Amino acid sequence: MKRAKEALVLILAGGVGSRLNILVQKRAKPAVPFAGIYRIIDFSLSNVMNSDLDKVGILTQYKPLSLMDHLGKGDAWDFSGRSRGISILPPRTGEKEFDWYKGTADAVRRNIDFLESNPADEIVILSGDHIYHMDFDAMIEFHRSKSADVTVAMMVVPRSEIYQFGAGIVDKHDRIIEWEEKPKVPRTNLASMGIYVFDYKYLLDTLKRDSSEVDFGMHILPRAIAEDNVFAYPFYGYWRDVGTIQAYWEANMDVLRKDSGLSPENWQIRTNVDEDNRIADRAPARFGDNCTLDTCLISAGSRVDGTVINSVLAPGVIVEEGAIVKDSIIFQDCVIKKGATVDLAILDKRVVIEENAIVGCGENYKVANVLKPTHLYTGITLVGKGAVVPAGQKIGRNCVVNGGVAESAYTGQDIEDGETIFADGEIN
């Protein structure tokens, strides 16, 4: 029997991810930190590693430097040696300057030389921005058992959410007989996870057939379902697309919940501990005599003398005496000083909250962000990388403090619910 490790893996990691707002100002979406020590792409990479697949190509595009630094040579995920390897595939421009990938299929098509130089039995195509645990070996065996041209990993989601996904209608043999891409009026609750197994020759022939077919969900799959053998691989575990601030926050909170099904340690998720100021070299977290901790994740190198409730702290975070962090996600090397409060917020790296400042002030969660109402509408406030919030400053709900905002940018007035402050002090 052929082994699944004969498959070639492609991870699509070039999307802009604009709905993550300032979290992707300086980095690609798959490189966004998650659950303290990880990056989002660690989950796809670790699933590949744990499925004993050998060769991986990672398609990058949007602000790829931090992602490339994190990936390194792939050693953190055992992608090293004669028979194993990770290849970072940089952006390919089209006929026009800065002509970026037009869709998922277009991205793979422009890297068809990589596919042709790495012949395999199947090609597994993944997204680099999902949080999940999956055995690709089992999916490939399912694909082979069905003699499928294409297999799509699918799971049941609430019908109210199906508009965000590709949706498939299947027969009793799991063959997909109809397809709807992001339907407004769904006829099924079976959603695509954006995970595909293609027969190697079938994919190459398909990509060469019609260059106008630029997206798998919009173009490739509907035609393949009408003409060829496409099957749905049922998935029943934890999976979340963290493409929005709300979904990203909820997934981090799931790490704190024992019954959520999300467990990076049990899933054997790895990260590059030698990158990003060498997480592996951080000292153990320290806790003061008067600190209060309740349902939280505290990473190495952190020091807590205040109160942390239902929150995730990355390495090197300092919470001084009298400070309160609640329902929040705090990135690496942030400092929350004495008497300050961070409530329902996400702080990017190296943010400083000065004494007695409040981030997430008030009880009105209904005023959406004025500039990005579809990004921030549940009360979460964002503070960008390297920003400073002055002593005594109050910042409301659904606010954005852009990266690099210094103390001098503030006027002394409160930042009201839904407002955004920029580095030059402009408030919208």
For 74-83, write each residue's pLDDT tens digit. Answer: 999 998 876 7
pLDDT category, 409, cuts 50, 70, 90?
Answer: very high
The per-residue pLDDT for 293 is 98
Q: Give me the torsion for CA of 327, 332, 333, 337, rounded to 10°.
A: -10
Compute the distance between CA of residue 398 and CA of residue 368 in angstroms, rounded to an integer.
Answer: 6
pLDDT category, 425, cuts 50, 70, 90?
Answer: confident
Give the burial class of 158: count Cβ atoms within 10 A of its Cβ; 0-12 exposed, 13-18 middle, 19 or more buried.
exposed
Share of the chain above pLDDT 90, in %: 79
| Residue-averaged pLDDT of the chain | 93
Q: pLDDT tens, 103-133? A: 899 999 999 999 999 999 999 999 999 999 9
State mean pLDDT over 246-268.
96
Question: Given a cut of 50, is residue 251 above it in pLDDT?
Answer: yes
Considering the entire predicted model, what is its pTM? 0.94
Q: Residue 367 in contact with residue 350, Cβ under 8 Å?
A: no
Question: Given a cut of 80, is residue 275 above it in pLDDT?
Answer: no
How far is residue 123 from each of residues 44, 118, 126, 149, 186, measured CA to CA in Å? 15, 10, 10, 11, 30
Phi, then psi, of 309 in degrees rounded to 5:
-130, 125
The 3-state DSSP class for residue 255 equals helix
How far is residue 63 from each of residues 32, 60, 67, 68, 170, measured CA to CA in Å? 12, 8, 8, 10, 38
The per-residue pLDDT for 2 is 52
The per-residue pLDDT for 216 is 93
The per-residue pLDDT for 167 is 93
Phi, then psi, of 83 in degrees rounded to 5:
-100, -5
The per-residue pLDDT for 38 is 96
The per-residue pLDDT for 220 is 95
- Tell me which of 80-94, 115-129, 206-220 is least confident: 80-94
Ramachandran category for residue 56: left, alpha or beta (phi over 0 → left; psi -120 to 50 → alpha): beta
Q: Where are the domains of the chain?
A: 4-256, 283-428
Query: Tokens representing 269?
Result: 């998720």
The per-residue pLDDT for 97 is 45
pLDDT category, 281, cuts 50, 70, 90?
Answer: confident
Q: pLDDT tens, 128-168? A: 999 999 999 999 999 999 999 999 999 999 988 888 899 99
pLDDT category, 6, cuts 50, 70, 90?
Answer: confident
Compute the distance between CA of residue 295 and CA of residue 326 in angstroms, rounded to an integer.
Answer: 10
CB count, 10 Å around CB of 290?
10
Whose tokens are 């909820």? That residue is: 250
Q: Which CATH superfamily is domain 283-428 in?
A: Hexapeptide repeat proteins (2.160.10.10)
**DSSP secondary structure letters along 119-169:** --SEEEEEESSEEE---HHHHHHHHHHTT-SEEEEEEE--GGGGGGSEEEE
Query: Tokens representing 92?
Result: 């390919």
How far is residue 410 from each of residues 359, 413, 421, measured CA to CA in Å? 14, 7, 8
Q: Which CATH superfamily is domain 4-256 in?
A: Spore Coat Polysaccharide Biosynthesis Protein SpsA; Chain A (3.90.550.10)
Q: pLDDT tens, 295-332? A: 999 999 999 999 999 999 999 999 999 999 999 999 99
